[in-house]
Homo-oligomer: A and B are copies of this chain.
Amino acid sequence: MLRGSKIDPRAFVNPHGTNQSAVTELAHQVIDMLIGHLSNAAQLPLQPDPGSLMMVRFPEHPQPAEVLLPLIQQVLQGAMNPAHPGYIGHMDTMPSTAAFLGELVSAATNNNMLSLEMAPFAARLEDRLMRLLAAEFGLSPQAGGVMVSGGSLANLEALALARNLRYDIAKTGLFGLPARPVILASAEAHTSLRKAAMVLGLGSEAVIALPADGNGSLTAASVAQAIIDHRAAGNDPFCVVATAGTTVLGAIDDIAGIAAVTQSAGIWLHVDAAYAGALIFSTTYRHLLNGIHHADSITFNPQKWMYVAKTCATLLVRDRSLLQRGFRVSAPYMGEDPELVNPGEINIQGTRHADVIKLWLTMQLLGRNGTAYLIDQSMLLVQQFATMLRDAGMELAAHPTTNLICFRPPAASDATVTAVQQRLHHAGSAFFSVPTWHGQRWLRSVVLNPFVDVARLQTIVSQLQAVVADAL
């Protein structure tokens, strides 16, 4: 159909092969620019100035394919730079090579995870790989799961499933319930839980924020007491969320203790292990997740500590058939397959990108040992970093449980904390995030980038000391 239009022939790969070399050449140019940029990441700013936005318009006429190169150059210049070894401010890292090449393949083949028919290989691979991950967490042989575009959706689908199974309201809605449903979680739990409760019609206030202990962990005693209190008040705590890897501190709740409480109370246990779930692959640290095999559902995001490009998130459930019983909305326009339900019928999403490809490829390249190595190294580094920061006189919010650490110069004002962050950022030294936590600003670090090392952290601490001395 391109004939007679002014569309550059390279705008589509001709399925008869007539532009193979021209498109290949263009793609090589993009690759060269991209890998060149990433290879220079340590020299580039930690965070760019977003700059002026060029060509935010829909041009009247088709543009020649060469225009892609300056436009992509602008995307690269305006991007957050998580590949910089000083970029240690968020749970976001550089992705593996396998991840971004896998994403390219997913996009170019454009299969649709809505149905088996529209993603013959990828839909089956996803089902199998979710069973494999569920087994890694020690769930039952009936366990499995779905992939979703980000952890907020995994938490949302988990809570919807727990709610539907508890009250059988999928068809008729949340009316006439004898008691108000509430969700118990740590005050340190992720904000996506409140968003989920809002979406679910429970109201964001249905998420009860229980205080964490000094390490930022929710205790079993606290959960047990809250169940008693809420039941006495006429509420129905139908779900408890334990977090493995809280947003600010990276803390891990007492999963085993909480599981004992939820099992005896007959309450759904969801473990939000979006971040720290990756510890399951480390023989050294998997004990931090003790009890996770008792979970009814688990959010786990390979997009974080498994170095897969985002989005790559999973919802694992202790029994695959629960998704059909508690969440399925069938679609008569789709084909049926006796082998497997169409993924779109048990997923909060419908049409969906094949995120599974980049996950699968990354798992092959890193292997379990390689993944564990990266995790163990970053756990070790953050312990060393904690020592350096204490020696430099910093106040720590808590001793790090995982590879996150929050600190601040003692008695500094929030303005000073932010000024320190900005100075280190603009000096090209390090990029910390500055969350508000317990009423104060903190410098937060996530030691995730595979190219951070002790020498880098030592340099950062020296620069930090100089900046703090100057700022206070």
Cα distance, A58 to B27, chains bound together (Å): 31
Kindly identify, within residues 321 to 344 of chain A, every residue whose CB is under 8 Å from any CB belonging to chain B: 327, 329-335, 344
Q: Establish whether residues A353 and B35, one from each chain, have CB atoms under 8 Å apart when the complex forms.
A: no
Interface stretch, picked from A214-222, A261-269, A290-298, A363-371, is A363-371
Is A211 close to B, CB under 8 A? Answer: no
Which residues of chain B come closer than 8 Å to A335, judged between CB atoms?
A: 433-434
Write out, one digit per residue, whether chain A residues 66-98 have a CB within 8 A of any chain B CB (1) or not (0): 011001101111111011110000101111111
A5 with B350: in contact, given A104-B103, A108-B95 (CB under 8 Å)? no
Q: Establish whether residues B110 and A436, one from each chain, have CB atoms under 8 Å apart when the complex forms.
A: no
Q: Establish whether residues A150 and B352, one from each chain, have CB atoms under 8 Å apart when the complex forms.
A: yes
Cα distance, A39 to B93, chains bound together (Å): 34
Cα distance, A270 to B17, chains bound together (Å): 42
Is A285 close to B, CB under 8 A? Answer: no
User: How many whole Å from A233's CB to the nearest CB in chain B?
Assistant: 15
Interface hub of A195, A204, A307, A357 (most chain B Cβ within 10 A): A195
Add 4 more A-B contacts to A53-B128, A171-B203 (CB < 8 A): A12-B96, A30-B104, A50-B124, A79-B120
User: How many whole Å from A240's CB to the nearest CB in chain B?
Assistant: 18
Is A243 close to B, CB under 8 A? Answer: no
Q: Establish whether residues A58 and B363, one from each chain, have CB atoms under 8 Å apart when the complex forms.
A: yes
Write out, one digit per residue, whether chain A residues 131-144 have a CB within 8 A of any chain B CB (1) or not (0): 01000100000000
Interface stretch, picked from A389-397, A407-415, A449-457, is A449-457
Is A101 close to B, CB under 8 A? Answer: yes
Cα distance, A110 to B111, chains bound together (Å): 21
Interface hub of A171, A202, A366 (most chain B Cβ within 10 A): A366
Is A65 close to B, CB under 8 A? Answer: yes
Cα distance, A350 to B303, chains bound together (Å): 13
Is A463 close to B, CB under 8 A? Answer: no
Q: Establish whether residues A369 and B61, one from each chain, have CB atoms under 8 Å apart when the complex forms.
A: yes
Q: Establish whether residues A11 and B90, one from each chain, have CB atoms under 8 Å apart when the complex forms.
A: no
Cα distance, A107 to B307, chains bound together (Å): 11
Kindly identify, within residues 1 to 34 of chain A, every residue whose CB is under 8 Å from any CB belonging to chain B: 1-2, 4-8, 10-17, 19-20, 23-24, 26-28, 30-32, 34
Which residues of chain B come closer than 8 Å to A180, judged between CB atoms?
A: 173, 175
Interface stretch, picked from A224-232, A252-260, A372-380, A464-472, is A372-380
Interface hub of A58, A332, A434 (most chain B Cβ within 10 A): A58
For A204, the closest partner residue in chain B by CB is B171
Interface hub of A2, A41, A107, A122 (most chain B Cβ within 10 A): A107
* Of B4, B49, B368, the contact of A58 (CB 8 Å cutoff): B368
